[in-house]
Structure 1
């Protein structure tokens, strides 16, 4: 898969089929859209492409980082697995934000990127202040003889699949249900940093993980999880919260990795949350805390 960093004036070399959307989480609904993209590209003997903003559009509009389900790095890994050929990565700025729907579609997509076919979800909006909708896109595609494919909403067990719905599941601790809708485990990428070493002294060393993007914060508590280190997968009992028994300040992501004793400070790791085990508790003593940690570890071992 080729990742091409572009601006609004970039001119593509070849025609392609493109999928448009934010794709946060790359959930099962997104995957239906992307499968259609790959299939359409093969049918037309063209490359499949996706347009992705380097950062969430709201970061620029509201000057505040948005909570995400996936980093771009994770998105791109999934795109490559699905078989996407090209990711056009563009910075969302004033020039992009103020494009009219007509300019975005006709000048930028159809002319500059040489798009022959467009794949979007049923609720796709585009252009300045999201003033372009599906009906406007239909008119513009018909006018320019561009093929348009609109993917219908996807329901699973009566639930309409959306990134917002999945975010709410994660916030309420329902990561196992969220994972089913994502089609993969909710994953937090980050770097291992130094902590206070108390767990190490008590026989339960933890990897303190500093997330590399602003992820959706799961309900505080302990999670059965896997952690990927240098391509290898290890079981872990992970606490996400403020550690109220000891510190009760600032968010902590602390993974006790089973059957692992190597120093991994500074390493990039991927933490996959599998199941919520229990809420975060303020214990009366540190000894009570570590007795509970022993039970948590046993639950993870017995998975």
Structure 2
């Protein structure tokens, strides 16, 4: 997949036309993936390149200034889309000027002149242009006027749930990470750099931990989780604690990962953490001995969960 960040750069590659979709794709969940695969199928049948158009920063962050935490930041969105097999991703910088464009002007500027659009696929809830006045009905009218076809796909459901970024965000924030997996098509993941912590895990408790400074915005509800820790492409069983360490009286949120059967100095490195299941809530212990006993139980429970074939990464 080739990534472009301006119309000028992508235009030579779509001179004969394109099949495209457009959206924010937060989470690149299974609903988004169905949309992207439909675009790729249409492009293959038409012998045209497939293009996904997205924005950075997110339009709502520009318009409203504040948004809920995102499930996937731009780098992870790009990584997931690349694995799907798209030809091109056009990641446009979103501006207030763009937000104020009338829908027809938006289509003419970015899709007709920019992408030489021949076919457009959108999701059931997509709207665009000033005050979100652009909808599927308008796209059909503009298609007749400018010579492209438009297609809208309906919502994708899983286990009676409509797959949406909002629903996935709710599940993660509630700690129900195992329920988020069927909607995402993967375990929910965060990425962070390993930084110096308070040196309690190894020194006081005998369980060394990697303390993460998160890059991602969305953190699961505080508690202890069975997770897969990914370091330099290698996957390791681990347990993670997200919370405030009430036994020690902390007031700042921390993410600490104990990687099982692992003994490497990884300070300053990137660590990816894939959340499998919440083991318990965070709580205060009366003594270090009680905390240590609980950590032994957490590691044993985490190992047993991660040994299950259904929980493989």
Mapping of residues 35-46 of structure 1, within 5 Å: 35-46=37-48
3-state SS of 1:235 partner: strand
Q: Select the residue among 198, 201, 209 that pairs with 1:199.
A: 201
Q: Select the residue among 189, 192, 212 that pairs with 1:209.
A: 212
Between Structure 1 and Structure 2, how many residues are aligned? 301
3-state SS of 1:64 partner: coil
Mapping of residues 218-257 of structure 1, within 5 Å: 218-257=220-259
RMSD (Å), alpha carbons: 1.5
TM superposition shift of 1:64: 3.1
Residue aligning to 1:181: 183
Whether 2:276 is the aligned partner of 1:277: answer no
Structure 1 distance, partners of 2:10, 2:71, is: 31
Residue aligning to 1:91: 93
TM superposition shift of 1:142: 2.4
CA contact (8 A) 1:106 1:140 kept: no
Residue aligning to 2:5: 5
Q: Select the residue among 49, 52, 55 that pairs with 2:51.
A: 49
Q: TM-score, normalised on structure 1?
A: 0.95
TM superposition shift of 1:10: 6.2
TM superposition shift of 1:69: 0.9
Structure 1 distance, partners of 2:95, 2:86, is: 25
Structure 2 distance, partners of 1:110, 1:11, is: 13
CA contact (8 A) 1:10 1:113 kept: no
CA contact (8 A) 2:55 2:91 kept: yes
CA contact (8 A) 2:124 2:154 kept: yes
- Unaligned runs of 5+ residues in structure 1 are none
TM superposition shift of 1:65: 5.7
Structure 2 distance, partners of 1:284, 1:234, is: 31
Structure 2 distance, partners of 1:58, 1:133, is: 18
